[in-house]
Amino acid sequence: MGFSTIAIHAGQEPDPTTGAVSVPIYQTSTYAQEGLGKHKGFEYARTQNPTRLALERNIAALEGAQFGFAFASGMAGIDAVLRLVQAGEHVIVSDNTYGGTFRLFDRILKNYGIEFSFVDTSDAGNVEAAIRPNTRMLYVETPTNPVMIVTDLQAVADVAHSVGARVVCDNTFLSPYLQRPLEFGVDIVVHSTTKYLNGHSDGIGGVVVLNDEKDAESLAFIQNSVGAILSPFDSWLVLRGTKTLTLRMEQHDRAGRTVAAFLEEHPKVEKLYYPGSLSHRQHELAKRQQRGFGGMVAFDVGSLERARTVLESVQLCTLAESLGGVETLISHPATMTHASVLPETRSRLGITDGLVRISVGIEDVEDILADLDQALAKI
């Protein structure tokens, strides 16, 4: 079956009791049992819920995975995956990763004996050089947030697998419509469902998908034991979102390319970050690895003052955290998404005070361009 068919139907068979086409919201905390040890596959809602199960099957199918686990947030999903690593073991991480991921790894998990090395994973040689005898996981974000560095997933997976390390990829920026990391040797894929999978800026969630049965058993145990599960209503919202994922991602991609081309030629823009641009040093890799380039665009206007002018002058674009919604969102990574990253590290990664990030929505692209143009004119 094609992607759109899977998005609409996988895990979403008509309800056997009523025939409801939309998966019902099973808003229950527990389930009646016919007798001791006799139930219909559901015992307690932290452990299983039919709405959440439908979503987990849906996203797993979209990524080409066998198993899926939905969590209360993307960060809860990432935290669950890192629990596959033990104290005293080592994880290699893309250095330009999301600020919340960096904060979890550097400020919390390292206190429990997990070792982290943050490297530029766009060069597989850096990954190989960072390997230690106790390396057990490679955690990659591609394209990276916010400067859009692309990692060759097959190349780094080959390096990690040579020493028996799992490879994890955060695929939030592209969604499974534009990139399917498992096809390039990745073992585990994580998403913030808050973003493109939901697509409507009205729910927080996360999902983890994979094929390894042993790791899936571990994640099921972690999900149930820790209890950071996605609620039935939020699961239903994401199921609603994935039905239109193809249509939305195609429009995000078209609009993203148009906005990027406009910004690259604008005299007030000093630098553009977008893999769809021919000037991006990894454009060809992005073309091979991705189905498109998406709606995430970053650009540098040179200073905090100039960035502030743009951010406070937009009228259609919304100044806000997050991304992936139908509306265009604009943000300032240095003070918002990456505020927890040390200033010197931000500077080295290119996350300057003049950097602005746009999540291009699905409005009429002419209106987005007009809004950016009038805001940039005020610099």
Full DSSP string of 304-323: HHHHHHHHHH-SSSEE-S--
The verdict on whether 170 is a catalytic residue reads yes
> Which residues make beta-bridge pairs with 355?
300
Instruction: Kindly tell me the burial class for residue 46, based on how many C-beta atoms sit within 10 Å of its own C-beta (0-12, 13-18, 19 or more).
Output: middle
The per-residue b/e assignment along 140-153, b for 16 or more CB within 10 angstroms, e otherwise, is bbbbbbbbbbbbbb
Residues listed for the chain = 379
> At a CB cut-off of 8 Å and minimum separation 6, what does 231 contact?
52, 72
For residue 89, give every residue at least 6 positions away whose Cβ sits within 8 Å of its Cβ, in sequence order, or none: 114, 115, 134, 135, 136, 137
Which of 52, 166, 195, 248 is catalytic? The answer is 195
Q: Which of 152, 170, 353, 371 is catalytic?
A: 170
How many other C-beta atoms are found inside a 10 Å radius of the C-beta of residue 163?
Answer: 14
**Are 321 and 327 within 8 A, CB to CB?**
no
- Checking phi first, is residue 316 left (phi over 0); if not, alpha (psi -120 to 50) or beta? alpha
Q: Contact at 8 Å (CB) between 359 and 322? A: yes
Active-site residue, selected from the candidate residues 46, 103, 287, 308: 46
Residue 134, classed as helix, strand or coil, is coil
46 catalytically annotated? yes
Q: Alpha helix (H) ranges present in 323-364?
A: 343-349
Residue 98 appears among annotated catalytic residues: yes
Do the beta carbons of residue 76 and residue 206 sit within 8 Å?
Answer: yes
Closest to 234 in 3D by CA, of 26, 13, 80: 26
Burial string for 193-231 (b: 16+ CB within 10 Å, else e) reads: bbbbbbbebebbbbbbbbbbeebbeebeebbeeeebbbb
Of 71, 29, 20, 72, nearest in space to 49 by CA: 29
Please identify which of the residues 26, 57, 95, 98 carries the catalytic annotation. 98
For the chain, the distance separating the N- and C-terminal CA atoms, rounded to the nearest angstrom, is 50
**Catalytic-residue membership of 158:** no
Q: Return the active site residues.
A: 46, 98, 170, 195
